[in-house]
Amino acid sequence: MKSFALLALAAGSASAFTGTPLQSRTASVSSLSMGIDDMVGKSQEFGNNLFDPLGFSTYASDGTLAWFRAAEIKHGRVAMFAFVGYIVHANGIKFPWAMQMDGASFPTETNPPALWDTVSDSAKWQIFSLIAFLEFWSELSTPTHKHYMAGGKPGDFPDFTSGPDGIPHPVPFNLYDPFRFSKNMSEEKKESRLRAEINNGRLAQIGILGFLSEQCTSGSVPLLSGIVQSYDGEPMAPFSTNVLGAPFGL
């Protein structure tokens, strides 16, 4: 769906690929436990260093490094959703029940960006409202969950807490690990899975942008020629009308 394409725009930003060149630096702020040498995501393809072609790590503060890593993890997760979602919709897989309260079914379109164009604006606003809430919740800093720029772990999504200091109604499951499978997982296993998540997220960012590039510019990705359908719309526009530009006649 085009919603995945929109979200994948963030995945292509420069901040999604951050790390270090050959030089290293350590955390200078005691509240931050993450220095360059401790960051997960080193790759053998880059000499067991973190990928940092623009040298962000040479001038970034420790808090900024944490922000870079959190951005990379977040963009990678969005890209993985986008990549899988693209394949699902391209193969015509959809839920059998109605999509909207008025009984409208899910679109049968198999061109993901074109499929997004057929979704009503009311449904799109619901999707973006959920995204906005998750983004807000992910930035919370509480006594039990430190913000990633204040000593917390980048990529660690806060639990959904209920009560006066949280959501005003019970939430049975958390967004991450709703069934608590990782509760007794060793730190080594968690680090291994985080490394896999980061690497898979990096590949997914390349994959989803490759799909869109070939759709909009035929021949730009030769390996996908004849595989993905062409699209002559605007893959990064969430609505069919220019919501922000309409008041200015755009």
Q: Which of 33-42, 65-74, 83-92, 197-206 has the lowest mean pLDDT?
A: 33-42
Map tokens 């969950």 to a residue: 145
* Distance in angstroms (rounded) separating the CA atoms of residues 174 and 182: 12
Q: Give CB contacts under 8 A, 24+ apart, made by 10-14.
A: 10/74, 10/75, 10/78, 11/75, 11/76, 11/78, 11/79, 11/82, 11/201, 11/204, 11/205, 11/208, 11/209, 12/205, 12/209, 13/71, 13/75, 14/54
pLDDT band per the 50, 70, 90 thresholds, residue 14: very low
Q: What is the pLDDT of residue 121?
A: 86
Average pLDDT taken over every residue of the chain:
79
Tokens of 71: 């951005």
Average pLDDT score over residue span 186-203: 88
Q: What is the pLDDT of residue 184?
A: 82
Q: What is the pLDDT of residue 207?
A: 95
pLDDT at 187 over 60: yes
Average pLDDT score over residue span 184-206: 89
State the burial class of residue 115 (Cβ atoms within 10 Å of its Cβ: 0-12, 13-18, 19+): buried
* Distance in angstroms (rounded) separating the CA atoms of residues 140 and 158: 7
pLDDT band per the 50, 70, 90 thresholds, residue 15: very low
* Distance in angstroms (rounded) separating the CA atoms of residues 156 and 16: 17
pLDDT at 118 over 60: yes
In tens, the pLDDT along 122-150 reads: 889 999 999 999 999 888 877 778 888 88
In tens, the pLDDT along 20-60 reads: 333 333 333 333 445 566 666 666 556 666 677 787 777 77
Average pLDDT score over residue span 6-31: 38
Record the pTM: 0.76
Q: Can you tell me whether residue 202 is helix, strand or coil?
A: helix
How many Cα atoms are found within 13 Å in the side-chain-facing hemisphere of 97?
A: 2
In tens, the pLDDT along 212-247 reads: 999 999 999 999 999 999 999 888 888 877 777 767
Q: Can you tell me whether residue 94 is helix, strand or coil?
A: coil
Q: What is the pLDDT of residue 38?
A: 61
Tokens of 229: 């359908």
* Distance in angstroms (rounded) separating the CA atoms of residues 175 and 180: 11
Contact 11, 209 (CB under 8 A): yes
Give the count of beta carbons closer than 10 Å to the beta carbon of residue 136: 9
pLDDT at 169 over 70: yes
State the burial class of residue 200 (Cβ atoms within 10 Å of its Cβ: 0-12, 13-18, 19+): middle
Spell out the alpha helix ranges (H) of the chain.
2-11, 62-90, 112-118, 121-138, 187-216
At residue 145, what is the residue type? H
Return the closest-CA partner of residue 62 out of 147, 150, 145, 146: 150
Contact 100, 116 (CB under 8 A): no
